[in-house]
Structure 1
Amino acid sequence: MAASETVEIAIVGAGVVGLATALRLVADGREVLLIDPNEPGSGASSGNAGTIAEYACMPVGTPAVLRALPKLLLDPDSPLSLRWPALLQLAPWLVRFMRQSLPAATRANALALAGLLADALPAWEDMVGEAGLEDLLRRNGCLYLYRRESDFAAGAGGRAMRAGFGIHQEVLTPEEVAALEPGLPATAAHGVYFPDSINVTDPAMVMRRLLGAVSARGASVKQAEITGLQVEADGVQLSGPGVRIKAGTVVIAAGARSRALAAQAGDRIPLETERGYHLEFHTEAPLLNRPVCPVDLGFYLTPMAGRLRVAGTVELGGLVAPPNPRRL
């Protein structure tokens, strides 16, 4: 049996949430141990669309998505797909998702998300200086591209909600879209521009810099898998293959794997897995000036250092489902 080690605060999961949390805690002089079975920041925190989307308060579940759900799930090329062998496992979550897509729940969820996102940009600006990220961030905003009038009309409720929450957005004509992004084909019916949004040119490098800043301030990193969590009178006992850690406080930031650990702490959190995919196209010069999202396709095209990354869509399939080449 492995010898037990002790620490003031253990953070399970060393993705962007775990690293950002650690950076704040070590800045306050706390003793921090980051625990992850993989290289810190190497998962979804590196393989994303690279957009700090403070405007993204509209939940995935809305009345419009609820109406289109059968078509979305049955069309293999839709932005939302389901791995059918996982249907039984996903059924309770899907029922909850449908309830949360009703009008009252949609508004409540959008309000909650807007509150969570309100501090996103200033928080990232603080981390720019702390972790030396300035050369990796671009402040060119983000563009939603509506290629069909019907999609633009369907998004009216979301635009009204964002406006009500004070989110800065600008509705663009096809000519204004072309002026903003001359590299796009002239197929836009409308655009919605979010000028305050920030994107990063290299998500993996952002993670490495955050890790460097955290480590330089005294945090420790341990490569291990945590499968057990037991709350005790004097702290929390963490365990896994070959590891035992006693922490005064534990932060669970393990993504989709957080549900099992949270349940052991007594919290029933209705998490389910959402897999995203991305492709990269190497470019000698940027093809776009900012992230662009064709809303009917459900992915982002984000210019990054030496490449264009196309990322997004939603695939529900559980933790054990292997990657699906068809989605690429």
Structure 2
Amino acid sequence: MKAVMCVEHGPPELLVVQDVPMPEPGRGQVRLKVEAAGVNFPDTLIIQNLYQFKPPMPFTPGGEAAGVIDAVGEGIDDLKVGDRAVAMTGNGCFAEYVIANRAQIVPIPGDMPADIAAGFTMTYGTSHHALKQRARLQPGETLLVLGAAGGVGLTAVELGKLMGATVIAAASTDEKLELCREYGADATINYATANLKDEVKRLTGGKGPDVIYDPVGDRYAEPAFRSIGWNGRYLVVGFAAGNIPSLPLNLPLIKGASIVGVFWGAFTQAEPQVHRANMAELLDWYAAGKLKPHVSKHFPLEEGPAAIRWMMDRKATGKVVLTT
């Protein structure tokens, strides 16, 4: 089978596409014939050896894939060959086949397109967990989303509106902000041309947002936090802009605010029952037409390195997907 392989850490241009042996499922595992794989920001870090999880070399990147189960190992009695599913494995998905443990498999509806399914779990899962369990977002509250047109950012905009919040979307171009408005943003801020803190204060009448969703970090974190409202919750989701920021700890003190970490991958392992309930709710919302996943670009598997470069260069809006 063909697979994208990381044979040395570094930029995506060092990745190679090559033939590798077909994997066989062990006990408690299934093999998924991959139809589509989602490209996510952690993929850009893993290949550079900059992520929390460091798979042994060589390895295949790609944390999520959708397809059809074509082999089932011993001990699996609730899945069968031919079932459609999403695998959330952390790595290994940029390939024609991937092995997944039972806990990493989520069955999907038969009418859910593979490219939509492949880009659904990590982005919607992250934002849903962040807003529901970590921020406890309430109807009528105000949510500020940074990096609002990106993979997780756009889902945070969409879910925030669905959960009854007033949503302010912040991004780096007017084109990205137009997409955010299509997904429900009540107000927008171009933080490449406007003062982020001042605009947030203006849009909230000086009150500040109740929740800030930040997958960007870097120079945007401190001005965003300085705008937060009393008893606000600042969600640390990631650092897509590069540097990990430092915040003066007097800021949460004087704001009565909380800095809340969001690590969806660890959450799925630590609280699997809650994770399954979250995924069931998200799939119900999708089936009811309440969620409309946005896939902005497709790459064939052979162009996996180019897809990761597209993500690294921040050209993506919504999801980027590899197809086999």
TM-score tier (shorter): under 0.3
Greater Cα radius of gyration, structure 1 or 2 = 1
Which is bigger in relative contact order (C-alpha 8 A, separation at least 6)? Answer: 1
TM-score by length of 2: 0.26
TM-score by length of 1: 0.26
